[in-house]
């Protein structure tokens, strides 16, 4: 047997060897990427500045302190046309938050109830839940909203012929009137009553707000229901059987055994549904509810500051998304299975 | 000691058989609260559906749909060029038929429903004779495709996959046209696209054109190049963190400012640009899911075979990753189909936009319930059918599992 002769390696290094060096190539490709992005960004900016210059405008956010001059129908804080644009944006942001918070609340409840109902052994209950889920999941939210607003709320009779629903709830073309509490002089519940051409007492929600809130709640509720169903089905059947063997009732089993465990499966997809609801609330612009986006549209139509307004809006929605996901991540860490 | 007879044949447990009353008892009235639930939900059903059904057959005036059916379906698309739309539908019917015959076993009801659907559509009174003939022709094309697919079996598999991939760009080409001079096969400008046609085109363009960007973004996010990675993460997270409607506004209002003076894009193209950007960010996240599912051994094996990183991606990783995310991509297609309705807010005439412009006409004031219910039904049927078929196929073909 002959021994292997190792090939003699040339010690001469090519002057271009660095071209095959992976570290060098990485740096080079990043520089090229950086340059391409930079050139495109520069080109866009130059075009934009030129276009603005032709219109005799400059970029800047100073206009926010100018007088707004338009009124807003629904507001939670003091506002009139004499206030400035920044104040108008605050009104819009609060309106968005209002519909989001109530929407998240109702969507969660609807989702839980329908998700549990979907798994019911009662045939008719589980079928109704199935129809509800499939309806919500396969219709665009915007179509649902314009249908609720233009097709239902605006077609309702006038106040005097309002449709009464048991529980002192009235539906009319003014919107949804519900009993509401008051704190002055002392806590008491006010029931709406028809007096003349309007309701006295209670709370009347505008058709826009009602349509948006109902639409967001049932739409997101349909998606949450599927998540809840999947979460409950992920818990092994032995858990239910063990709980029943211990003498837990159906309700106790669900509340104490199944849901706490299902939560761990439910939370991550639920987070993205909550984020979707927050983002979807911007569809208010299509039905005329004065949310953040519709007010910013009004401002941008009045001032022509579309670039500034778009950046503000994107920044606000981005922070809303980040806050929502931060809260839910914190909660997720709390309910997470602590492994030994 | 007695020995058990081991050779006794083990029978499956008897299947439960119910009489009608037995079924009712088991499923509706097994306990008192079950009975209460049944009665309660039956009442609820009655309270909700009885007024709706009586409204639909008495008060509702459906003439608005009938009179504007063409507008709702294709918008202002010139009638002389209508054959192109029919051609797209014939081709779709044939490919769908062949795929169904080849890959789908069972699902007989769904298949029959799909074949019957064009015949049901023929019942619209406002359709002309040649519309009806074409609808019938489409059904027969699908049926013919089905039998070809079933007879030739898997031998057409590769061709069919290829034709699905080619189909979507072909649709864009057919609808738009080629010839700038308006003779044969002239360009039909995007301002003529409307109705359901525009909804579909926006979806198809959104998915097809976002594909390369989405894959690049996903790869960029996985990249070891810090700057590229940060850029991709920033892009994806910003787009996913803001509502779609702000991106549409941006594409309508801000995008024109970014382009040099005198260079204009029309509104539909701008909306498509927004859709592509939006869809690319979501697609990137889905593809990333597929990339992360690839075991590390695949990379190491490719390295060991001497493939460079580009070859590894193209030949080894991407084919597996994309295959794994097919079901999610179908889901994204359906979601985008619904989301394109948002372009109606910026005044485009997609299915919803046309409906809103119809309702602004004095003739059709107060017809909101009818029109919105009709378009909701259209959206519902398409997205339900697509998701139903894709779910069944997933289970049947084991797509995404391998």
pLDDT value, residue B399: 52
Q: Count the residues in chain A.
A: 340
The residue among A46, A139, A298 with the most chain B CBs within 10 A of its CB, best to mutate, is A139
CB A72 within 8 A of CB A79: yes
Cβ contacts of A313-319, under 8 Å, gap ≥ 24: A313/B242, A313/B246, A314/B238, A314/B242, A314/B246, A314/B250, A316/A93, A316/A292, A317/A278, A317/A279, A317/A282, A317/A292, A317/B241, A317/B242, A317/B243, A317/B246, A318/B238, A318/B241, A318/B242
Report the residue from A122, A140, A151 with minimal CB separation from B339: A140
Could you say which of A47, A123, A140 has the minimum Cβ distance to residue B27? A123
How much is the pLDDT for A1? 44
CB contact under 8 A, B37 and A280: no
Task: Quote the Cα angle for B166-B318-B390, to 5°.
Answer: 55
CA atoms within 13 A on the CB side of A281: 30
Q: How do residues B303-357 score in pLDDT, each as one tens digit?
A: 999 998 889 988 999 888 888 888 888 889 999 999 999 999 999 999 999 999 9
User: Which candidate from B38, B246, B345 shows the least CB-CB separation from A310?
Assistant: B246
Residue bearing the bigger pLDDT, A195 or B62: B62
Say if CB B193 and CB B259 are below 8 A apart.
Answer: no
Taking CA atoms, what residue in B is nearest to A132?
A: B45
Chain CA centroid to CA B328, Å: 12
Please check whether residue B398 touches A, CB under 8 A.
no
Q: Which of A146, A285, A314 sits opposite B242 (nearest CB)?
A: A314
A133 → chain B, closest CA residue = B384
The average pLDDT across B25-30 equals 77
Sequence-separated (6 or more) residues with CB below 8 Å from residue B235: B217, B281
What is the pLDDT tens value at each position of chain A, 340 positions in all? Answer: 444 545 555 566 777 777 777 788 888 888 999 999 999 999 999 998 888 888 888 888 888 888 888 888 888 888 888 889 999 999 999 999 999 999 999 999 999 999 999 998 888 899 999 999 999 999 999 999 999 999 899 888 888 888 888 878 888 888 888 888 877 777 888 888 877 777 877 888 999 999 999 999 999 999 999 999 999 998 888 999 999 999 998 889 988 999 888 888 898 899 889 999 999 999 999 999 999 999 999 999 888 888 899 999 999 999 998 888 888 888 888 877 665 5
Contact B382, B358 (CB under 8 A): no
Most confident of the ranges A6-20, B45-59, B104-118: B45-59
Closest CA to B368 of A281, A153, A176: A153
Nearest CB to B341; choose among A140, A317, A321: A140
| Lowest mean pLDDT segment, chosen from A225-239, B29-43, B235-249, B336-350 | B29-43
Neighboring chain B residues of A33 at a CB cutoff of 8 Å: 225, 227-228, 231
Distance (Å) from the alpha carbon of B243 to chain A's nearest alpha carbon: 5
pLDDT at A161: 84
Partners of A152 on chain B (C-beta within 8 Å) are 369
Q: Which CATH class is domain B193-402?
A: mainly alpha
Tens of pLDDT along B343-355?
A: 999 999 999 999 9
Answer whether B342 touches A (CB < 8 Å).
Answer: yes
The DSSP letter of residue A82 is T
Hey, are the CB atoms on B352 and A142 less than 8 Å from each other?
yes
Nearest-by-Cβ selection for A125 from B37, B352, B369: B37
Q: Which residue of A has its CA nearest to B23?
A: A123
Mean model confidence pLDDT for chain B: 86
Q: What is the pLDDT of residues B142-152, one digit of tens each?
A: 999 999 988 88
ipTM attached to this prediction: 0.87
Q: How far apart are CA A283 and CA B343, in angstroms?
A: 11
pLDDT at B71 over 70: yes
State the average pLDDT over residues B36-57: 89
Residue B380 contacts A where some CB pair is shorter than 8 Å: yes
Instruction: Tell me the chain B residues in contact with residue A144 when contact means C-beta distances shorter than 8 Å.
Output: 376
Domain boundaries in chain B?
2-59, 78-187, 193-402
Can you tell me the distance from the alpha carbon of A224 to that of B284, in angstroms, rounded to the nearest whole number? 24
The percentage of residues in chain B with a pLDDT greater than 90, rounded to a whole number, is 36
Q: Which of residues 2-61 of B touch A (CB under 8 A)?
A: 27-28, 30, 34, 37-38, 41-42, 44-45
How many inter-chain contacts (A to B, CB under 8 Å) are there? 155
- The answer to which of A307-321, B32-46, B96-110, B281-295 has the lowest mean pLDDT is B96-110
Which of the four pLDDT bands, split at 50, 70 and 90, describes residue B401?
very low
CA of residue B245 relative to chain centroid, distance: 20
Q: Higher pLDDT residue, A263 or B392?
A: A263
- Cβ of B245 within 8 Å of Cβ of A44? The answer is no
- Quick one: three-class SS letters along chain B? CCCCCCCCCCCCCCCCCCCHHHHHHHHHCCCHHHHHHHHHHHHHHHHHHHHHHHHHHHHCCCHHHHHCHHHHHHCCCCHHHHHHHHHHHHHHHHHHHHHHHHHCCCCHHHHHHHHHHHHHHCCCCCCCHHHHHHHHHHHHHHHHHHHHHHHHHHHHHHHHHHHHHHHHHHHHHHHHCCECCCCCCECCCHHHCCHHHHHHHHHHHHHHHHHHHHHHHHHHHHCCCHHHHHHHHHHHHHHHHCCHHHHHHHHHHHHHHHCCCCCCCCHHHHHHHHHHHHHHHHHHHHHHHHHHCCCHHHHHHHHHCCCCHHHHHHHHHHHHHHHHCHHHHHHHHHHHHHHHHHHHHHCCCEHHHHHHHHHCCHHHCCCHHHHHHHHHHHHHHHHHHHHHHHHHHHHHHCCCCC
């Amino acid at each position: 047997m002959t021994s292997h002769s190792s090939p003699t390696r040339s010690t001469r290094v090519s002057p271009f060897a660095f071209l095959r060096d992976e570290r060098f190539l990485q740096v080079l490709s990043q520089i090229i990427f950086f340059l391409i992005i930079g050139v495109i960004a520069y080109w866009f900016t130059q075009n934009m500045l030129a276009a603005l210059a032709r219109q005799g405008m400059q970029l800047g956010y100073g206009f926010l302190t100018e007088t707004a001059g338009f009124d807003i129908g629904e507001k939670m804080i003091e506002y009139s046309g004499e206030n400035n644009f920044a104040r108008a944006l605050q009104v819009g942001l609060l309106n968005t938050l209002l519909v989001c918070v109530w929407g998240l609340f109702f969507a969660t409840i609807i989702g839980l109830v329908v998700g549990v109902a979907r798994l019911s052994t009662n045939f008719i209950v589980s079928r109704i839940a199935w129809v509800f889920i499939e309806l919500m999941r396969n219709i665009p939210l915007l179509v649902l909203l314009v249908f609720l607003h233009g097709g239902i709320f605006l077609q309702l009779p006038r106040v005097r012929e309002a449709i009464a629903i048991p529980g002192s709830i009235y539906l009319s073309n003014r919107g949804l009137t519900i009993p509401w509490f008051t704190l002055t002089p002392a806590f008491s519940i006010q029931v709406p009553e028809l007096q003349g051409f309007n309701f006295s007492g209670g709370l009347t929600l505008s058709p826009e707000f009602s349509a948006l809130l109902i639409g967001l709640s049932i739409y997101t509720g349909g998606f949450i229901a599927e998540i809840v169903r999947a979460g409950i089905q992920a818990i092994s059947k032995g858990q239910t059987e063990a709980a029943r063997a211990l003498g837990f009732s159906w309700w106790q089993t669900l509340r104490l055994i199944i849901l706490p465990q299902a939560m761990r499966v439910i939370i991550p997809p639920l987070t993205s549904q909550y984020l979707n609801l927050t983002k979807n609330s911007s569809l208010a612009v299509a039905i005329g509810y004065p949310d953040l986006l519709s007010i910013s549209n009004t401002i941008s139509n009045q001032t022509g500051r579309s670039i500034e307004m778009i950046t503000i809006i994107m920044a606000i929605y981005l922070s809303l998304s980040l806050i929502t996901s931060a809260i839910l991540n914190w909660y997720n860490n709390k309910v997470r299975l602590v492994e030994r | 000691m007695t020995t058990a007879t081991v050779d006794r044949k083990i029978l499956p447990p008897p299947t439960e058989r119910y009489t009608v009353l037995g079924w009712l008892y088991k499923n509706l009235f097994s306990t008192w609260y079950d009975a209460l639930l049944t009665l309660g939900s039956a009442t609820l059903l009655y309270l909700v559906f009885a007024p709706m059904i009586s409204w639909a057959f008495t008060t509702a005036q459906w003439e608005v749909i009938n009179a504007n059916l063409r507008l709702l379906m294709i918008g202002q698309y010139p009638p002389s060029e209508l054959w192109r739309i029919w051609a797209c539908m014939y081709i779709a019917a044939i490919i769908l038929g062949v795929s169904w015959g080849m890959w789908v076993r069972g699902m007989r009801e769904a298949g029959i429903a799909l074949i019957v659907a064009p015949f049901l559509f023929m019942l619209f009174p406002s359709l002309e004779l040649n519309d009806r003939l074409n609808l019938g022709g489409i059904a027969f094309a699908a049926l013919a495709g089905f039998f070809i697919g079933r007879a030739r079996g898997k031998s057409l598999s590769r061709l069919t996959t290829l034709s699905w991939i080619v189909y979507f760009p072909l649709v864009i080409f057919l609808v738009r046209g080629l010839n700038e001079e308006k003779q044969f096969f002239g360009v039909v400008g995007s301002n003529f696209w409307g109705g359901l046609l525009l909804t579909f085109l926006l979806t198809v363009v959104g998915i097809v054109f976002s594909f390369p960007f989405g894959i690049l973004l996903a790869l960029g996010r996985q990249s070891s190049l810090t700057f590229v990675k940060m850029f991709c993460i920033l892009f994806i997270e910003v787009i996913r963190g803001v509502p779609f409607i702000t991106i549409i506004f941006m594409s309508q209002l801000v995008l024109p400012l970014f382009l040099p003076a005198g260079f204009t894009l029309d509104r539909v193209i701008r909306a498509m640009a927004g859709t592509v950007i939006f869809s690319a960010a979501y697609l990137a996240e889905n593809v990333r899911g597929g990339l992360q599912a690839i075991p590390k051994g695949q990379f190491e094996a490719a390295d060991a075979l001497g493939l460079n990183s580009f070859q590894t991606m193209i030949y080894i990783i991407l084919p597996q990753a994309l295959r794994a995310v097919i079901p999610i991509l179908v889901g994204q297609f359906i979601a985008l189909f619904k989301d394109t309705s948002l372009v109606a807010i910026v005044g485009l005439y997609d299915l919803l936009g046309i409906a809103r412009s119809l309702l602004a006409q004095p003739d059709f004031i107060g017809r909101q319930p009818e029109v919105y219910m009709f378009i909701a039904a259209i959206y519902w049927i398409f997205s339900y059918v697509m998701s139903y078929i894709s779910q069944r196929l997933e289970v049947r073909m084991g797509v995404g599992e391998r």
